[in-house]
Chains A and B, each alone.
Chain A
Amino acid sequence: MFDTALSAHDLLFLAKGAGVTLLVTAISVAFGTILGILCGVFRFQVGPYWASPVTFILDIFRSIPLLIQLVLANAFLGMVLKLRMSGFTIACGVLTLYTAAYCAEIVRGSIGSVPGTTRRAGRSLGMTWFQDMRYIVLPLATRVALPSWIGLALGVMKDSALVYVVQVTELLKSTQILITRLQEPLFLLMICGAFYFLISFPIARFGGYLEKRWSND
């Protein structure tokens, strides 16, 4: 059907790129979520006034385009601080903070969605703040947060295409390399899109599955 110069070796090259995309995303989403939960709980707990420095920093990471963050972070770490960090490390670092900034908002909103009266009932049974968080707030807030969090994870995965600017050859960059060589942009972009879909779809479905499983109550 297609008359193409694409070889099995090239497909493997793309698959490797997809692997890098997946790895960068997994690391960033994992650490970003942990950091986001900490920041979100902190913001909820201390109120807007005391949390304002944290809020401000998170807002920076939410407001500035990721591409600019990556370039600036790369330049700052390498040229100003003279640190010899790999592009992969910088990419993961920046994407982690980027994820954390969005995740903190999701966490803050989800905790706020748990009725104060429900939490008060928990505390009045003698539960500590931590027990209330662990056994009442966490399960209830997770249900609220899940759809937004899945959206965030998928968003970060696609945004990770920008890490090519710090010399990380992920899926999109791999595709571009092949396009330059084979001159078959549409066909290659289709394959690239299919790879993205293959990664995203299970995550989205897994989210749907969890939502359904938790809806029994």
Chain B
Amino acid sequence: MIKIENVRKSFGQLEVLKGIDLTVEKGEVLTIIGGSGSGKSTLLTCINGLEPIDAGRITVDGTVVHDKSTDLNKLRRKLGIVFQQFNAFPHLTVLENVMLAPRKVLKQSRAEAEAMAIKQLGHVGLGDKVDVYPSRLSGGQQQRMAIARALAMSPGYMLFDEVTSALDPQLVGEVLDTLRLLASEGMTMICVTHEMKFAREVSDRVAFFHKGVMAEIAPPEKLFGAPEDPELQKFLAATH
């Protein structure tokens, strides 16, 4: 369970998270929507401790993320995260990209890591690309590789930060299909996305962020069907 309690975060003068309260249960798929600068991506990077917070508390399975005594490197094994940029390690082949962290962080044997990597690459549909370098892959393929790389750590949670935003329109579908697959397998996911149709389809709950505040959170039928917050109504009208 990820529990976010009254989290505040500022970048200089700008307060990007103004007291967020949110709980994500095991097995839940939560999507976060909202305009640019609403704080949704920042929240994800706070959850895995890449960004410090100014106030409040985030706990993952009972571990307080921003506690000084927390081993963040250990905690991050539980939290797979995929970013908007593909972030392939360009000097490693696809297989090596996926194997690196299991080998070095989890200290798995080569055979063990390779078996896992091949399994996860197959899972995201890159079974035939294991030996090529990332520069030979399309954006969609690179993004699926990044997903496989995160999955190879057997995380309990997956965080997706606008993973389709940097993709050509025709490549968005293949990545969303991969996310759908994960959701259908029961992976606990928090997806920050601009894909409304996707959010409507896969989410258990959808949260709408506006200017650092979680303005509304509801199951998709409710949030898209009968939005209450006036900003959400405006946002939905603009994105349709």
Q: Which residues of chain A from 144 to 158 have a CB within 8 Å of any chain B CB? A: none
Q: How far is the CB of A156 from chain B (nearest CB, A)?
A: 27
Question: Does B34 touch A at the CB level, under 8 Å?
Answer: no
CB proximity of B78 to chain A, nearest CB, Å:
9
Tell me whether A120 is interfacial, beta carbon within 8 Å: yes
Q: Is the CB of A216 within 8 A of B50?
A: no
CB distance from B157 to the nearest CB of A (A): 12
Known pairs A125-B105, A126-B105, A217-B133; A136 contacts B89 (CB<8 A): yes
Q: Once the chains are docked, how many angstroms separate the CA of A136 from the CA of B134?
A: 14
Contact, CB under 8 Å: A123 / B50 = yes
Q: What total of A-B pairs shows CB separation below 8 Å?
A: 66
Select which of A117, A128, A217 is within 8 A of B90 by beta carbon.
A217
Q: How far is the CA of A121 from the CA of B76 in the complex (A)?
A: 11
CA gap between A124 and B82 in the complex, in Å? 9
Residue B209, interface by CB 8 Å: no
Q: Which applies to chain B's interface (DSSP): helix, strand, loop or mixed?
A: loop
Q: Which of A115, A126, A128, A135 has the most CB of B within 10 A?
A: A126
CA–CA, A216 and B150, complex, Å:
25
Number of interface residues of B (CB under 8 A): 29
List A contacts of B92 (CB < 8 A): 217
Chain B nearest CB, measured from A149 CB (Å): 17
Residue in A120, A139, A140 whose beta carbon sits within 8 Å of that of B83 in the complex: A120
> Complex: how many Å from CA A216 to CA B133?
8
Q: Contact check, B89 vs A118: say whether CB atoms are below 8 A apart.
A: yes
Q: B85 near A126 (CB under 8 angstroms)?
A: no
User: Is the C-beta of B163 less than 8 angstroms from some C-beta in chain A?
Assistant: no
Measured CA separation A122–B76 after assembly (Å): 11
- B240 contacts partner chain A, Cβ-Cβ < 8 Å: no
Contact A126 B87 (CB under 8 A): no
Say if the beta carbon of B70 comes within 8 Å of chain A.
no
Q: Is the CB of B50 within 8 A of A125?
A: no
Min C-beta distance of A32 to chain B, whole Å: 25
Nearest CB of chain A from residue B106's CB, rounded to whole Å: 8
**Chain B interface residues toward A at CB < 8 A:** 48, 50, 73-74, 76-77, 79, 81, 83, 85, 87-93, 100-101, 104-106, 133-135, 146, 149-150, 153
Counting from the closest, the 3 A-B pairs by CB-CB distance are A121-B87, A125-B101, A217-B133
Pick 30 A–B contacts, CB within 8 A, sort by A: A115-B87, A117-B83, A117-B85, A118-B88, A118-B90, A121-B146, A122-B89, A124-B48, A124-B50, A124-B79, A125-B76, A125-B100, A125-B101, A125-B153, A126-B77, A126-B101, A126-B106, A126-B153, A127-B101, A127-B105, A131-B104, A131-B105, A135-B100, A135-B104, A140-B91, A143-B91, A216-B133, A217-B90, A217-B91, A217-B134
Please list the residues of chain A having a beta carbon within 8 angstroms of any beta carbon in chain B. Answer: 115, 117-118, 120-128, 131, 135-136, 139-140, 143, 214, 216-217
